[in-house]
A and B are shown apart, each in its own frame.
Chain A
């Protein structure tokens, strides 16, 4: 079980679930959770390849650190935006935020 393919399959499942979440959810915070799943799957891929792919260095590890750092920055900004919208509109549903059409 402890081989590259099983990690890639787990990551693939997380990735597909993340996409499903982003597509079905309307609540901004819930969409953000789906995006976190996608980022986690990519990060898992990097670390798995790093262990099994015969990479001499830890590039995959460093990449996933940067993914985690930027995910944190993105989540902070996204939530500030969502809360700001909520204060003005009393909703966080993406499709109720529709004052612009065309």
Chain B
């Protein structure tokens, strides 16, 4: 579609851009400075409203640069929800530097814009730009606590690993361009399909693309940055990074691997069997994530490794080339969003009291603040993947894909073993909360907005554990890609 006609399908993004620009100006004017956060929240609701209004057809926008399809829209909803929560609670984290709260929120919106682009990109130029939009803003956000050496280190590691990964990915892109003569994903697929395989260059290009996307997913062996960045970054950002860019990376991966690197009939292009590669990497990712999580004493690092493990669970179904695997990933992302955000918000509430993220600070929380402890237990049960929570249903869907297509049974076995390992470290937190006593018996008093955010995260986790058919219907309707 031409550029001008595309604008009508691009209203949510344009509203978002408008909100970003107005918020920047508002923050500069002393009279309006204190309304910036409220304005951003209202703006996000407006973006959501326009997203809801948008039509559900699939079309190509901006002369093949971007897609407008239900698949992308599904992910955009996840990004809006995550951004809304993080903007809402960022102010109530005592670790944040409040003098730069507005810049934090504005950069978060720019990250969100990049995530929108990642979920809809259909051209190599767009893929690269989208990843860089997300990355560059995230580097800055990670280093925002300027007086905190950990935050400085986090952003240094993030920028160096990130720039390196995107450089490798670009080199892979250049080969794809040299092979196909185009930067358009569908044309690349058409050209790759005509190749008599197995073609060595395609294999190496896929590997290089995998570095760039795997970095965003914190897939092993591209995960080195994850624990340090998660620990050093401001916690609201950590919560965001563990959810939104991962979802966008998966969206990009589905578009890239199950659309571009397959021939549309369940076969890989050019006889390059990348499915085994991803299956092995997925098994390694979940195992490394879970094993390293076992010996963490810092809650943020623990959840960093837990999020690596979860990326592994979701990658598990990518080797099964079918729409079932995309559906399972998309379904899993919904509870994953809420349980991870919720767990991080509880961690913020605890650290506001103790001043650190050491696991020792959680001692006796069950007695001191029963409500918060109980909510945390629900998140942990869901993260482990036990009934009656949504995490369990999500895991069942992931496993059922492997069983239904009768592929990679060994991967399902690895995942089950991993879920058992995960039980140990999640329940270490439960043990600290309920079975150890603390000298500090003072109850926590989190800000009401923080408490209510946690409660609104727990509702979907519980409800979707019992009644999940609406989400499945939504996911099924969202499988249509351009």
Contacts and interface: CB of A to CB of B under 8 A. Distances in A.
Q: Do chains A and B touch in the complex (CB under 8 A)?
A: yes
A77 B136 contact: yes
Given A38-B164, A77-B139, A102-B298, A82 B174 contact: no
A88 B174 contact: no
A73 B128 CA distance: 14
Contacts of B291: none
A100 B135 CA distance: 22
A70 interface: yes
Nearest to A42: B170
A55 B181 contact: yes
B177 interface: yes
B153 A22 contact: no
Interface residues of B, number: 46
B136 A73 contact: yes
A64 B188 CA distance: 18
Task: Decide if the interface of chain B is mainly helix, strand, loop or mixed.
Answer: helix
B160 A78 contact: yes
B369 interface: no
Interface string B94-127: 0000000000000000000000000000001100
Contacts of B175: 45
Nearest to B137: A77
B178 interface: yes
B289 interface: no
A42 B124 CA distance: 13
B76 interface: no
Interface string B140-176: 1001001101101111110110011001101101110
A15 B171 contact: yes
Interface in B178-228: 178, 181-183, 227-228
B296 A102 contact: yes
Contact of A49 (B159, B178, B297): B178
B129 interface: yes
Interface in A3-43: 15, 18, 22, 28, 31-32, 35, 38-39, 41-43
B302 to A, nearest CB: 10
Contacts of B164: 22, 31, 35, 38
Contacts of A85: 149, 152-153, 156
A28 B139 CA distance: 14
Given A42-B173, A59-B177, A63-B177, 4 more contacts: A38-B164, A38-B170, A53-B181, A55-B181
